[in-house]
Structure 1
Amino acid sequence: ITVSNIHIKSDLAIGEEVMDSLAPFIVLKGQDINTLEGLSLRQLEEGIFFMVSPNLKKFSRLRSLDLQDCNIYLQEGKTRSRTIGRAIMVRTLSCFENLVRLDLSFNYLLGCLGEILDALKLPLEFLSLRNCDLNEDDLECLANSKHALSLQELNLSKICQFSIYDNDRISSNNLFKIVFCFKNVKLLNLAQNHFQDSSIPSFCEKLPQNLKKLQYLDIAGNVLTEDSTLQICKALAKVKTFQWFRLTCSNNLLDEALGHLNQAHENAVQAKQRICGLLSALGRTDIHIEIVKLSYAIFVDLMDVMEL
């Protein structure tokens, strides 16, 4: 029996359970470098990833690497501490000659994404940057990278976050523009990005011509009017490959919280019926519509943590 994928979660604990923090060292030491193809190192406490990186380099056959919430903190600048962190990350990733799937969700990569992408040997097929600290220069680097046309699955959810520094915040308008650079993407997640209704007409106009291979789109957690939602549906109907649309129909969280559960459910059912009716009139009865409650879309991160 050959085990080709392992998943490590490291929790900082006290007392007898403190050994859990050593899990990455113990498990990695015993793995066959010729068989390991997938590795997940989710939720490592601060500093652990950089400590185990020398042990990771030997797994040159890795095709999939999951570094979600590993407390990776990279910064621009030429100070010794900042350059060392970026250098370790770059040297580690450059060792994986077969890597095509990379998950960097929930890490701080502000201004450093370009270096990470350049370090990879092969163009990526899957990339997740969910809830990463990024700026618009990072998105430009991604759009102009060798990965732009190879990506088939892309998660850019929750990257348009509030920042006290305006120059660090990614605007939803610019995110919409960048998305069209990934012309071969099939699965696209843009959930929780504070989309505005004013941006929807331009997005819908360009979508059919620029995302011709799109099969799945997730915009849950974005509060849009029904008119905007229907505009998106019309645009998606023109994409022959499209199959699944995930969205939120609530106007705001307060209305959802105050509304009766049965009424909220009925509203969602009616919204889905109107969307399906529109798609049916356009000859697209094959598209699946998934309505997600706004409260669920917003608190999904907490639920993910509890499941882990």
Structure 2
Amino acid sequence: MVLPLVDLCAKEVVSDHSSSPGWLGCVPRELYRPLLDAAFTNCRPLAVGELVQRWPERTLRVGGRRRQGQSPPNRLCVQALLLAVVRGLADKRCALQVLDLCGLQSEEGGVGDPMGGWSLTVALCTMVVQARAGAQRALRRDGERERKRVAAMEREKDLVKREREKPANEEEEGGRPLAKCVRTEKAGPETSGCPGEGERVKGVRRRMEMERRKESAAAPVGGSAGEESDHSEDTEVVVVHVRADLFVNARSWDRARAALGTPGPLKLQCRYIRVEELSVSSIRSLLDLLPRSCLMGVDIRYSCLGVAGLALLLPQLAAFPALSSLRLHYCNLDVRRDIAGQEGALRDLSRGLGQLGQLRRLSLTALRLPGHLRMLLSSLSQPLEVLELPYLSLTPADLAYLSCSPHASSLQQLDLSENRLDESAVPSLRQLLSRASGCLVHLSLSGCGLTNELLAALLPSLARCRSLKSLALALNPLHLAGLLELVRTAVGMASLRQLLYPNPLEDYQPGLPPMPTSAQLLDWPLDELVAVHEATSLQLDRVVGESGRSDLFLTSDLLNYDKGC
């Protein structure tokens, strides 16, 4: 890819940090964005910090979708960015008001040492807490300077008042009235006919105290009395709104609560939040701290919620008007056992889902809810666009409901992986594919036990899905003949761009059961003879080559498959 001239020049400028004092003072604001992109791309954290500290625009977006082949920002560059945001709070050249980091996080351990979701969340929370502490220290310094200024003004006013009263005292210095005043002052102020020096000083101080109170009411300053309340009021003034996707677990819970629950110059806002291994009470406390307007998705993983716990969370989620995505992974909602009160909790769960009026994505992984799909989905007020039900132990009755439900004609992504399908499920699945043929973009039927005969019954319905771009059929017990028929159907689908196909049974080592499960296919070793795999690849390439489809990507790599690539 040929870089534009601006990008090439920006790369050269940020490559030499010793020259930054020369160009930072004169670079126009239009070039800040190319320079920052070049600093991120070439891993120049010092340049990142200097540019962000004096960012000339109100908004700075760093996350979001990256260009093809573009790696995520380096960890050092992200840390330099966060430190520069805190320093920019005291820099008058910085105009930053909104920092958007949504989509910045990546998988831990990626190429180029990127910053993962958990590390980024911890760094963000630390930045917010440090900014608040710095603001409090600045307030204390300003308050101390103001108190010294007021004390100096009081001393000056007292001195001026004394100078004004001095001529009147000098006129009576040789006369009797002054002596009388002096004698009666010794006797006591009650019997004196003229005010004593102590009374005059008290009167001056009283008037100055009244004036100082009037000034304080007009322009309040920090003082030693009620200092903490003054700080809390002043630090509520938000300078920069920070938008990000948060990843909170048991180790980062305390830090996230401190960052979200205390006001300061940086206000943390969450678009998508992912929580792991937290109790129901901790998740509810965390949701109470999140701003209501911007939360769009909640992802709960590896938390022992139970049906009753999830039923308690859903009404609280209904308070977020923009919430459109709910994902529950391995949250222990197993209802296969006969438990007292289970049906009532399921009804509460269904009503709670019905309160999420903007829900468009629902992911339920390994929740073990056989036969309850109608109860869960029938209460939704709007049809879903993304439905992911892997490891859900779906029954033919569940598939029959789904094929007739309002969601079938609006689904863009459907994941039925690891749900065992047989002959009784084929009619419902064909009807479902027929109703979703105009909108379905991503479909996953991996690990569903599809044999050559079952897949042959589904291929005509799959071929009519005119919007389908990615199809995943890994870990299905197909023979080579069934795999070749699958590829012939795939090359005839003009919209299809990716096909995740299963290794044929002929490619495995001997000893595999006649009807292996997906777990057996995943663990069983492939044949060590390279010629066996090459023969399969040559036959698949021949089918694709004869069709002239150069835009169709075929892979059997389950671990590195990405349907959005």
User: What TM-score do the two structures reach when normalised by structure 2?
Assistant: 0.45
Q: How far apart in 1 are the matches of 2:404 and 2:337? A: 19
2:543 matches 1:278: yes
Secondary structure of the equivalent of 1:160? coil
Match for 1:70 among 322, 327, 331? Answer: 331
User: Which residue pairs with 2:395 in the alignment?
Assistant: 135
**Partner secondary structure for residue 4 of structure 1:** strand
Amino acid across the alignment from 1:45: C
Distance verdict in 2 for CA 1:5–1:158, change over 3 Å: same
Q: Say which is worse superposed, 173-182 or 220-229, in terms of deviation.
A: 173-182
Q: Distance in 1 between matches of 2:423 and 2:335?
A: 18
Structure 1 CA distance for aligned equivalents of residues 555 and 526 of structure 2: 23
Is this contact kept in 2: 1:249–1:292, CA < 8 A?
no
Cα 1:75–1:115 shift into 2, 3 Å? farther
**What is aligned with 1:55?**
316
> Quick check: 1:188–1:214 contact (8 Å CA) kept in 2?
yes
Alignment of 1:224-263 (within 5 A): 224-251=478-505, 254-255=509-510, 257=525, 259-260=527-528, 263=529
> 1:202 Cα deviation (Å)?
2.7
Q: 1:269 deviation in Å?
A: 4.5
Letter in 2 for 1:198: E
Please state whether the residue corresponding to 1:109 is helix, strand or coil: coil
Match of 1:84 in 2: 344
Amino acid at match of 2:408: A
Q: Whole-Å Cα distance in 2 between the matches of residues 267 and 54 of structure 1?
A: 56
Structure 2 distance, partners of 1:58, 1:170, is 43
Q: Do the aligned partners of residues 258 and 127 (structure 1) sit closer, same or farther apart at CA in structure 2, a change above 3 Å counting?
A: closer
Instruction: State the secondary structure of the residue aligned to 1:272.
Output: helix
Distance 2:526 2:462 in 1: 36
What is the match of residue 407 of structure 2?
147
- 2-structure distance, mates of 1:82, 1:35: 34
Q: Kindly indicate whether the alpha-carbon contact (under 8 Å) linking 2:404 and 2:432 is maintained by their aligned counterparts in 1.
A: no
**Shift of the alpha carbon at 1:71?**
1.4
Per-residue deviation, 1:68? 1.6
1:180 to 433, 437, 442: 433
> SS of 2:500's equivalent?
strand
Deviation at 1:87, TM superposition (A): 1.6
1:42 partner amino acid: R
**By how many angstroms is 1:206 displaced?**
3.5
Q: Which has the higher helix share?
A: 2
Query: Residue 388 of structure 2 aligns to which amino acid in structure 1?
Result: S
Q: Percent identity?
A: 21
Q: What residue number does 1:305 align with?
A: none
Deviates more, 1:230-239 or 1:126-135: 230-239
Match of 1:133, SS? coil
SS of 1:107's partner is coil
Contact 1:8 1:42 in 2 (8 A): yes
Distance apart, 1:172 and its partner CA: 6.0
Mean CA deviation greater in 245-254 or 137-146 = 245-254
Match of 1:96 in 2: 356
Whole-Å separation in 2 of the counterparts to 1:194 and 1:156: 12
* Residue 257 of structure 2 corresponds to residue 4 of structure 1: no
1:76 to partner: Cα distance: 11
Conserved in 2, the CA contact under 8 Å of 1:123 and 1:146?
A: yes
Are residue 119 (structure 1) and residue 379 (structure 2) matched?
Answer: yes
Letter in 2 for 1:202: A
TM-superposed deviation, 1:72: 1.9
Report if the CA contact (8 A) 1:54-1:92 is conserved: yes
Number of the residue aligned with 1:290: 555
- Amino acid across the alignment from 2:491: A
* Aligned partner of residue 154 in structure 1, secondary structure: strand
Which residue in the other structure is 1:14 paired with? Answer: none
Is 2:280 aligned against 1:25?
Answer: no
Structure 2: 5+ residue stretches without partners: 1-241, 244-269, 511-523
Larger of the two Rg values belongs to structure: 2
Secondary structure of the structure 1 residue equivalent to 2:347: helix
Indicate if the aligned counterparts of 1:276 and 1:289 stay in contact, CA closer than 8 A: no
Q: Structure 1 residues 68, 245: CA separation in 2 closer, same or farther (over 3 Å shift)?
A: same
- C-alpha distance in structure 1 between counterparts of 2:447 and 2:427, whole Å: 15
- How many residues are paired up? 276
Q: Could you say which structure has the greater relative contact order, defined with CA pairs below 8 angstroms and 6 or more residues apart?
A: 1
| Distance (Å, rounded) in 2 between the aligned partners of 1:75 and 1:87 | 16
Counterpart amino acid of residue 180 in structure 1: L
1:16-75 CA distance string (max 9 Å, x none): xxxx67531331121122111111111211434234334223223211110121112346
Q: 1:204 aligns with which of 451, 459, 463?
A: 459
Backbone CA RMSD of aligned residues: 2.8
Q: Does the C-alpha gap of structure 1 residues 38 and 203 become closer, same or farther in structure 2, counting only changes over 3 Å? A: same
Counterpart AA for 2:403: A
In the alignment, which residue of structure 1 is the partner of 2:41? Answer: none
CA 1:170–1:201 in 2, change beyond 3 Å: closer, same or farther?
Answer: closer
Give the counterpart letter for 1:177 in structure 2.
Answer: R
Task: Evaluate the alpha carbon distance shift between residue 251 and residue 172 of structure 1 in structure 2; reply closer, same or farther with a 3 A threshold.
Answer: farther
